Amino acid sequence: MIGGLFIYNHKGEVLISRVYRDDIGKTWNPSYTSPPSPSHWNHMRNAVDAFRVNVIHARQQVRSPVTNIARTSFFHVKRSNIWLAAVTKQNVNAAMVFEFLYKMCDVMTAYFGKISEENIKNNFVLIYELLDEILDFGYPQNSETGALKTFITQQGIKGQTKEEQSQITSQVTGQIGWRREGIKYRRNELFLDVLESVNLLMSPQGQVLSAHVSGRVVMKSYLSGMPECKFGMNDKIVIDKQGKGGASDDAGKSGKQSIAIDDCTFHQCVRLSKFDSERSISFIPPDGEYELMRYRTTKDIILPFRVIPLVREVGRTKLEVKVVIKSNFKPSLLAQKIEVRIPTPLNTSGVQVICMKGKAKYKASENAIVWKIKRMAGMKESQISAEIELLPTNDKKKWARPPISMNFEVPFAPSGLKVRYLKVFESKLNYSDHDVIKWVRYIGRSGIYETRC
Amino acid sequence: KSAEYVYLSSMSTSALYNDQGGAEAAVEAGQESTPTSSSTGAAFGLFSADFKKNEDLKEMLESNKESLKLEAMKRVVGLIAKGKNASELFPAVVKNVASKNIELKKLVYVYLVRYAEEQQDLALLSISTFQRALKDPNQFIRASALRVLSSIRVPIIVPIMMLAIKEAAADLSPYVRKTSAHAIQKLFSLDPDQKEQLIEVIEKLLKDKSTLVAGSVVMAFEEVCPDRIDLIHKNYRKLCNLLVDVEEWGQVVIISMLTRYARTQFTSPWKENNEKTFYDSDSEEKKGQIEAKPYIMDPDHRLLLRNTKPLLQSRNTAVVMSVAQLYWHLAPKHEVSIVTKSLVRLLRSHREVQYIVLQNIATMSIQRKGMFEPFMKSFYVRSTDATHIKTLKLEILTNLANEANISTILREFQTYVKSQDKAFAAATIQAIGRCATNISEVTDTCLNGLVLLLSNRDETVVAESVVVIKKLLQTQPTQHSEIIKHMAKLFDNITVPMARASILWLMGEYCERVPKIAPDVLRKMAKTFTIEEDIVKLQTVNLAAKLYLTNSKQTKLLTQYILNLGKYDQNYDIRDRTRFIRQLIVPSEKNGALNKYARRILLAPKPAPVLESAFKDRDRYQLGTLSHSLNIKATGYQELSDWPAVAPDQSVRNVEVIEPVRN
């Protein structure tokens, strides 16, 4: 399992080091008395140095997130300037180590926000405590932030009373690890966010090469007691099933299409076995914000924008580019933060741009024309044309024409997903489903949205 | 609040790794504790600042105020974080282990775990506190005491640890039992001689019915006695049933252990006649009929497959990966494909996870194209992918290619060849080569495409194309003299050594098909011989020799000239090769014996190179493991055994009393 965990800054200095097993970085030396030798701390430093030299300061770009140096394996992830590295000599489950590192990042973000050198230095006592809690002898443990917050002493929560301690124990030892008992709110409220990112790769002729939507349902719940929730959406399989049973009023009335969900994953609170058998999503929610589910669809995606590129080479020193974008959704809706990025050749000497809407600028440092539009209603179109002057080069390399990419935000779900209901049942307390105030919002963002040109 | 504490001074690398142990140990020697072994008594004054600060800390730790103690402990942990030696504070710190303040207590634990091994005698002072805490009415305190106690690596307390583990394993609280399972591994690594006793505890804990304990005890099992499969029999069904409710990290370990178990206990479901392999509830009565011809899946085997399936919906990628490998290694062939969707989904996850998943898919896709073919588009390369992700996707696309989809794939490859990432463009050309050899229908199309690439403006693309064309021509040398002629024409403009060498080799190998051109190329080479790279020179010598044998009339003088140049080359390889070739081909009195065979040696029909996947032999490792990922056997790798020909006794898994499973 994980032998040790190190956090480095961008210079390769160690900010945090925690060693769980003394086999890492240990080179066999007959002069050491067998197992317990205090000097294993020095060996650990060999491992620490090895990673710095071979990965952080490596000459070439590092090709793989797993590096094997002298039979010791380093798994690393990088967040802004910070490197997190897990070290092991054992045959571990590779995906698990990365999953853990990302959990670790999530937990740290939940505690002190952005993962930066400064924040890590200011919180190292907390981090040590966390590392003790979520890794025991190199085995990942309960890393649910909500549950952790109750028994990590740093940052305000300290000196528990007897009551609090018993709460902790019920949380740690109980079946429901993500919610404690006795939560009370005057107003029972919940917020649902459907966040989608739509990805597209289109050929210059307008043929969709690949498109998919990956979405998340994020829920903020402020509910009293131990409520049982049931979540429903326009999932094709469920609606078809209901249609057969004759109870198709919901789907029939609204006339909304159902969507085919390719696959989905759930927060650990959702009863997977129930989903497997009846495809219903029922759960006891954690308190506060969490991600209920993730899903992915590939069929019948509403592509909010269509990009039509036209590139013409005029002689060897000039390029004419015309790009038309068309918005393809209800005229009453507004897309925001639209940005079109048109790549230019490396030997560009000057650019003239004319656009119908918004602002466009040639950014020499990024080798691209960036066209920004603040807002755009549905069923509209806009265009930009540019003349790019090129320096004559004897460089034989042809410009590779990277794809035109786009960013935007729209107030609907490109997959077509609709929340049909979210029912709350709490039998022990005196509030019913109707008393809960529920909010839903849809946000569709661009993921990698590219059109080849 | 902790906010007021500032992380002291900017750290420099040298300060971090400086081992100050020696000097400070010397300071310590004058005081109450025993000196550590490495006291060198060096530069006392150098660390006096530190020394003073430590005095302050000591005072703070010994004060009566809780807040001061806490502040001091935070600083001490800060020292540890910076790699400074804080061992001399040990006595002062240990006194606080009995503190009622949980925050303070936890920080003392951090310190203890770090230094107990160096200060064994003093560490013993804290043991009695832990022993008391092990009897605390609060399960949380009992567990945390055991956790820290077992992390203190002091050999003298092994018997105390052993006792504590045994007691905790029988505790009423599942949380304490879970902690005891973790302690087993720690004790095992401290003193492997305790193995037998520890196995007894593991055996007991395996019987536990709590979901909390299940994951941890299997971790201990895997570490201490992975070969004691017999301990699992009685618990197999229980583990399968508990699996969905175990916490996610535990699931990963249990699944991997059960995969290994199943491979030793059940017969292979991969036989040909396995259409009717559905779980039959009556089949339990049919014990002893194992040799019966139609394959019937053991109900326990089916149980495992059925109970792991819902976990494909887990949000933890490691769990999904584990289930996928379980299905790959255990499920009947026609059922494996249910994991495909989940694996493809993982591709949207973080980059690093993508990398691991793609590696596994690459291995799978060699054996089972059909599994991933419907999802081919998911493996299209994005311009934002990192190079290592791109090459893996390319690998998979190549594996998936067949007669039906090859034209789509080749069209996609055409886009990749234009990529600015040159390493990737080169890899794409290699991939085209592989497609061409694997699918005979498109060999000519690919070859033509590659020939077109020869006039590409980018040098690396041209060079790579030449190398691949060379390999392709070798696989079917007939009727391709046109291409060889074309390459001869391009020869003057190609500067990449590897490509030049490849063309020369082709000329030599097929010199009889291009009788007019080959000598001319040799003539040009004679002019530029001295300024060529080494590999080009070697191939020139080769070409000269082959032409000498087939067409000595035209090339005799040229060959002799080149051999003379080679004889005085700076590189000894070239000198050696020249000497060898000369002896071989030029007849003289001394070397008559070999000379006769020169033609057969140099112009022997050569086997064509096989273009195959780099992931070809990776399936010898269990999927999802580090060993698979590195293609090296990592320490502690447990082989998956082959299916037994005859299933071992099934009744070993029967449990007498069947109780409802409760936490």
Tens of pLDDT, residues B611-659: 777 788 888 888 888 888 888 888 888 888 888 888 888 888 887 655 5
- For residue B97, being part of any structural domain is answered with yes
pTM, two decimal places = 0.70
> Could you check whether A189-242+265-301+413-451 and A305-410 share the same CATH topology?
yes
CA angle B394, B399, B403 (to 5 degrees): 115
Cβ contact, residue pair B175, A14, below 8 Å: no
Residue where one domain finishes, among candidates B581, B598, B625 = B581
Residue A18, SS3?
Answer: strand
As given in the structure block, the two tokens for residue B363 are 């291995």
Quote the pLDDT of residue A391: 85
Q: pLDDT tens, A295-326?
A: 989 888 889 999 999 988 888 788 899 999 99
Instruction: Pick the more confident residue, B652 or A251.
Output: B652
List B residues 128-187 in contact with A (Cβ-Cβ < 8 A).
138-140, 147, 151, 153-155, 173-175, 182, 185-186
Interface of A with B in 434-453 (CB under 8 A): 448, 450, 452
pLDDT at residue B1 is higher than 90? no
Residue B30: inside a domain, yes or no? no
Tell whether B375 lies on the interface with A, counting CB pairs under 8 A.
no
Q: Which residues pair with A355 in a beta bridge?
A: A384
Angle value at C-alpha A167, between A142 and A165, nearest 5 degrees: 95
Contact B328, B363 (CB under 8 A): no
B419 within some domain: no
Determine, yes or no, domain membership for B521. yes
pLDDT category at A171 given cuts 50, 70, 90 is: very low
Both tokens assigned to B611: 């273009």
Residues 290-329 of chain B with CB under 8 A from chain A are 309-311, 313-318, 320-322
Give how many domains chain B has, as a whole number. Answer: 2
Q: Which of B390, B397, B346, B409 is nearest to B372 (CA)?
A: B397
Domain ranges of chain A: 4-143, 189-242+265-301+413-451, 305-410
Using the Cβ of B572 and the Cβ atoms of chain A, whether some distance falls under 8 Å is answered with no
Roughly what angle, to the nearest 10 degrees, separates helices B459-475 and B422-438?
20
Q: How far is CA A316 from the centre of its chain?
A: 43
Residues 156-185 of A with CB under 8 A from B: 156, 158-160, 165, 168-169, 172-173, 175, 177
Q: Is residue B88 in some structural domain? A: yes
Confidence of residue B286 (pLDDT cuts 50, 70, 90): very low
Last residue of a domain, one of B233, B253, B273: B253
ipTM attached to this prediction = 0.75
Which residues contact residue B445 at a Cβ distance below 8 angstroms, ignoring those fewer than 6 apart? B410
Q: Which of A63, A87, A118, A125 to mutate to test the interface with B (most CBs of B within 10 A)?
A: A125
d(CA B345, CA A216): 13
CATH number at residue B241: 1.25.10.10
Predicted confidence (pLDDT) at residue A408 exceeds the cutoff of 80: yes
Which residues of A define the annotated binding site? 359, 361, 363, 372, 374
Residue at B467 is within a domain: no
Please tell me if residue A128 touches chain B, with a CB cutoff of 8 Å.
yes
Q: Is residue B335 part of a domain?
A: no
A4-143 is a CATH 3.90.1170.50 domain: no
Residue A33: exposure state from Cβ atoms within 10 A (0-12, 13-18, ≥19): exposed
Q: Which of B188, B314, B353 to mutate to test the interface with A (most CBs of A within 10 A)?
A: B353
Of A92, A291, A400, the CB nearest to B418: A400
Question: Pick the residue with more confidence: A133 or A162?
Answer: A133
**Comparing C-alpha atoms, which of A43, A42, A126, A55 is closest to residue A84?**
A55
- How high does pLDDT run on average in chain B? 80
**Max Cα distance, chain B (Å):** 106
- Supply the range of the domain harboring residue B135: 54-253
Match domain A189-242+265-301+413-451 to its CATH number in 2.60.40.1170, 2.102.10.10, 1.20.1260.10, 3.90.226.10: 2.60.40.1170
Distances (CA, A) of B550 to A208, B509, B544, B587: 56, 11, 10, 15
**How many Cβ atoms from other residues are within 10 Å of residue B9's Cβ?**
8
Of B63-77, B290-304, B566-580, the least confident: B290-304
Length of chain B: 663
Split at pLDDT 50, 70, 90, the class of B10 is very low
Q: Taking CA atoms, what residue in B is nearest to A78?
A: B352
**At which residue do the structure tokens 């897990």 appear?**
A86
Query: Shortest Cα distance from B368 to chain A (angstroms)?
Result: 21
pLDDT, tens digit, for every residue of B190-210? Answer: 889 989 999 999 999 999 888
pLDDT digits (tens, 9 = 90+) for B99-144: 877 778 878 888 888 788 777 888 888 888 888 888 888 887 888 8
Overall fold of domain A305-410: Immunoglobulin-like (2.60.40)
Q: Do residues A121 and A15 lie in contact, with contact meaning Cβ atoms separated by under 8 Å?
A: yes
Closest CA to A443 of A236, A213, A289: A213
Burial class, B427, CB count within 10 angstroms (exposed 0-12 / middle 13-18 / buried 19+): buried
- Alpha-carbon span B77 to B68, nearest angstrom: 14
Residue type, A193: D
CA atoms of A344 and A331, how far apart (whole Å): 32
Domain presence at residue B176? yes
β-sheet with A334-343: strand ranges across: A263-266, A288-297, A208-222, A189-202, A437-451, A404-410, A334-343, A368-377, A359-363
Instruction: State which residue of chain A sits closest to B381, comparing Cα positions.
Output: A201
Domain final residue, candidates B544, B566, B581 = B581
Query: What percent of chain B lies above the pLDDT cut of 90?
Result: 21
